Structure 1
């Protein structure tokens, strides 16, 4: 009796979820910079990009930028609604939200009026594109993570992911307040904060050796440590609905784009 060989079953391919990036643009210099930044970083992880354009945006400029990344899956939505409402709605089903630090409407300190409300209420990570040209273009090849908050693990994980994807070096910074009458007592030894972060980096990316920096200054002054960086990664703060001093300072003054992690 002859037996007929049965065909081997074809293994089912596991569904891999494509990361999703939402970006707001309004046709200003920083709106264009936000779109460029989002597209460049989407290319490092094959993410899809959903563009939310204001009615003031230049359709031809958007098309030109998307054509340069034609292999990415992209959509464009022109919305007459409030930019804050549009971007917050987008944050509910995206992994990262990107916007420029100022647009056509901005306050006396130069920060766009929609930035703080969006960063505070966003339901996903938010990147605010700002800083000097080399940092915005990602030419320094350094990622800086600001530590010392309750969301340090999430901050380190995001910083490692960006460093690996962009083949950049990683800097871990922890600011320790100078002694003074109004200094808040330190609950964790500074060395322990950096050591824990270092161990987490080694666990995630054994080939990545971070630079550790202990800054003797007020925490919000640690923003200066992000000079010659392409991205500053930090947490939102410990109080729900309110950004920390260092995060608010970074959004106003950082010399590079700022990623505010949304803890889950």
Structure 2
């Protein structure tokens, strides 16, 4: 009996979705820092970068920065619309939105007037680039995640992703209210919250051993525990349309860039 050779099946090529990062820049020092941050982190995951530039931006400065990452897929759009409208629209079809913590217009505490509205209403994760120079440039090699809220799983997953991509260590912090405060206490023991977070990290990335830190303070004061970090990751809070006190405090005072997770 003669056997007929069967044709070798051609493996199907699966389409791998490229992560998309949107970044707003306005030609100020923090606008430039936001663009640098977005490009550097896009390179760790081969993400595309869509730059939304204000009309006052320096086109040549943007071009020089993009040239340093010429292997990335990038676009530049100059929008006459307000930064809030432009970036919120961009958040609908991007994975991460990046902006500087202040631009040409900022309030009495230094935070740009557009930042809180954008972070509150964004439809994707938002990174607000701020803090001291070494943190902005990612030199500490520590990622800090604030746990103890409703969105802990999403916060931990994002923090682990950044730690793995940047080959950084991971710190988990949880703030315990001081005795006598009016903070509503939960039935969960603080140690259990950190232990659960630790277990989730090991489940996601078995080779990553997080550092655990219990902070005895008002929750919003735990922002100080993110010193010597390159990124502070936290959730938006439990009330839709309103950021929590700790998240708002981090945007105003954190010594490093802040990633506010958009839970789904």
TM-score normalised over the length of structure 1: 0.98
The C-alpha deviation readout for 1:162-187, integer Å capped at 9, x for no partner, is: 00000000000000000015232233
- Deviation larger for 7-16 or 32-41: 7-16
> Could you say if the C-alpha distance between residues 185 and 137 of structure 1 is closer, same or farther in structure 2, counting changes exceeding 3 Å?
same
Which residue number in structure 1 is paired with residue 38 of structure 2?
A: 38
The C-alpha deviation readout for 1:181-232, integer Å capped at 9, x for no partner, is: 5232233110111011001000000000000000000000000000000000
1:239 aligns with 2:239: yes
Which residue number in structure 1 is paired with residue 131 of structure 2?
A: 131
RMSD over aligned Cα atoms: 1.0
Counterpart Cα distance in 1 of 2:110 and 2:187: 35
- SS in structure 2 of the partner of residue 13 of structure 1: coil
Which residue number in structure 2 is paired with residue 110 of structure 1?
A: 110
C-alpha displacement of 1:15? 1.2
Counterpart Cα distance in 1 of 2:147 and 2:181: 23
C-alpha displacement of 1:148? 1.2
- SS in structure 1 of the partner of residue 93 of structure 2: coil
Alignment of 1:129-208 (within 5 A): 129-208=129-208
Counterpart Cα distance in 2 of 1:44 and 1:237: 28
Counterpart Cα distance in 1 of 2:177 and 2:117: 28
C-alpha displacement of 1:6? 3.7
The C-alpha deviation readout for 1:58-82, integer Å capped at 9, x for no partner, is: 0000000000000000000000001
Give unmatched runs, 5+ long, in structure 2: none
- Deviation larger for 177-186 or 33-42: 177-186
How many residue pairs match? The answer is: 264
> Could you say if the C-alpha distance between residues 165 and 181 of structure 1 is closer, same or farther in structure 2, counting changes exceeding 3 Å?
closer
- SS in structure 2 of the partner of residue 119 of structure 1: helix
> Could you say if the C-alpha distance between residues 181 and 142 of structure 1 is closer, same or farther in structure 2, counting changes exceeding 3 Å?
closer
Give unmatched runs, 5+ long, in structure 1: none
Counterpart Cα distance in 2 of 1:115 and 1:88: 11
- SS in structure 1 of the partner of residue 208 of structure 2: coil
Counterpart Cα distance in 2 of 1:99 and 1:239: 23
Which residue number in structure 1 is paired with residue 256 of structure 2?
A: 256
Counterpart Cα distance in 1 of 2:183 and 2:147: 18
Alignment of 1:215-230 (within 5 A): 215-230=215-230
Counterpart Cα distance in 2 of 1:145 and 1:72: 28
> Could you say if the C-alpha distance between residues 131 and 52 of structure 1 is closer, same or farther in structure 2, counting changes exceeding 3 Å?
same
TM-score normalised over the length of structure 2: 0.98
Counterpart Cα distance in 1 of 2:145 and 2:34: 21
Which residue number in structure 1 is paired with residue 209 of structure 2?
A: 209
